[in-house]
A = this chain, B = another copy of it.
Amino acid sequence: MSQADFSPEEREAVYRAIEARRDVRHFRPDAVPSDVLRRILGAAHHAPSVGFMQPWNFILVASEDVRRRVRDTFEQQNRGQLQQIAAPERKELYRTLKLEGILEAPLNVAVTCDRRRDAPFVLGRGPWPEADLFSTCLAVQNLWLAARAEGVGVGWVTILDRQATAEVLGLPPGVELVAYLCVGYPVEFRPRPLLEEVGWKARLPLGPLVYRDQWGVPSPLFGEEMP
């Protein structure tokens, strides 16, 4: 192999980044240094992409005005979401959750997918038109893991008005907002996901999610976990 294998310690570091990564909503105000930010974005840029299309752009949003306008769309969407929860105790729990850090984080990063890039023929995208959006998601996960290894927290905000946010960011037609991220040093990396910790939802056992050859056919791989 042209790349040396990973030592047990190196392998362990990769798993630790994966397992210790958190969706962060509580940030300290200190800025992420430029060299750290360049490394994190470099990691995103090394994601796989359909036809090596590299369809992503990264909009670094420091402007308080832009962030306030995005946060307004969060507030409005979040009120709507709250109204959709029927059970009173779930509604109350939802109300206590901090679901974004748009203004507290020193930086927001909008990750976009330029679906016009390399048009008309992108190798591999024809039969699977969302493959460029999916590639952009892979870049987000690279960014997220690199950030964790740098001690930087990332939180993905989905409770937004996407159309309004795209307008605030000036996205042209053909460019789609894939992720809106809050980025900065976290108050802490909690041991478990917040939604697990507060009892919103438990982590699922993995075994029953794994099938063999066909949907619904149990795989023996995690046999010891199966009921």
A contact residues vs B (CB 8 Å cutoff): 1-3, 5-6, 9-11, 13-21, 23, 34, 37-39, 41-43, 45-48, 50-54, 56-63, 66, 77, 80-81, 84-86, 90, 94, 97, 99, 112, 118, 120-121, 123-128, 130-131, 133-134, 137-138, 140-142, 144-146, 148-151, 156, 158-162, 169-172, 175, 178-179, 186, 188-191, 193, 195-196, 200-201, 203-204, 206, 209-216, 219, 221-222
Contact = CB atoms under 8 A, between A and B. Distances in A.
A142 to B, nearest CB: 5
Copies per complex of this chain: 2
Top 5 A-B pairs, shortest CB-CB distance: A137-B137, A10-B13, A141-B141, A13-B13, A128-B158
Q: Of residues A11, A84, A97, A134, which shows the largest number of chain B Cβ atoms within 10 Å of its Cβ? A: A134
Contacts of A121: 84-86, 90
Given A37-B221, A58-B210, 16 more contacts: A2-B191, A10-B149, A18-B43, A19-B46, A51-B195, A52-B195, A54-B209, A57-B215, A60-B213, A84-B120, A84-B126, A112-B215, A124-B158, A124-B159, A127-B162, A145-B145
A22 to B, nearest CB: 8
Nearest to A58: B210
Contact of A62 (B5, B9, B212): B212
Given A149-B6, A189-B1, A215 B175 contact: yes
Contact of A18 (B90, B145, B201): B145
A124 B145 contact: no
A11 B158 contact: no
